[in-house]
Amino acid sequence: MLKALSSQTRVEIIKTLMKDQLHISSLAKRLGISVPVAAKHVRILEKAGLIERKEYGRSHVLKARGDRIYEIFDAFAEKLNVKLSRGSSVLDALKMTCAVETKRVNDSELLISIDGKEGYYLYEVNSRLADIPMNNYKVKNNDEILLKRLIPITEKKIIVNIR
């Protein structure tokens, strides 16, 4: 996947297809490259699973696979092992592995910083999004905790015009 992203042209193709679904000729025109060159890059990106092709009759429309692009970051996640007593919380596990800063709101501890990285965080236990505060979630077995920092990525830009 990283090899597919090693070309600036392919990065531009993905950026363009993240905004719009396009036919190969429209994509080539928008990027100022020939259709054969665009097709070559598209094949590489399709093989890497970073874009997909939808067929509408004889037309083929290309679309970026944003979900696959985000998966790249998972490969760089730090992996740690901790030993905890039964009944310990997710927050206890975090405190054993990193510098944690929390803010108390009602009976919940909200995570506001990890190792100095401020932001909004959520967590999953065994690949399931948790719906209770991490200080109240008790680990039971050999659980896997995934800590995710929410990075603001613009999905839509809405311009409101008042009449």
Among 52, 72, 92, residue at a domain's last position: 72
CATH of the domain at 116: 2.170.130.30
Residuewise pLDDT in 10s, the chain (163 residues): 778 888 999 999 999 999 899 999 999 999 999 999 999 999 999 999 999 999 888 888 999 998 887 777 777 888 899 999 988 999 999 999 989 888 888 888 888 888 988 888 889 999 899 999 888 999 988 899 998 888 777 778 899 999 9
> What are residue 40's phi and psi, to 5 degrees?
-60, -45
Same domain for 19 and 57, yes or no, is: yes
CATH of the domain at 23: 1.10.10.10
Whether 90 contacts 145, CB under 8 Å:
yes
DSSP letters for 35-80: HHHHHHHHHHHHHTTSEEEEEETTEEEEEE-HHHHHHHHHTT----
Beta strand spans in 1-159 (E): 22-23, 51-56, 59-64, 100-105, 108-114, 117-118, 120-125, 128-129, 145-150
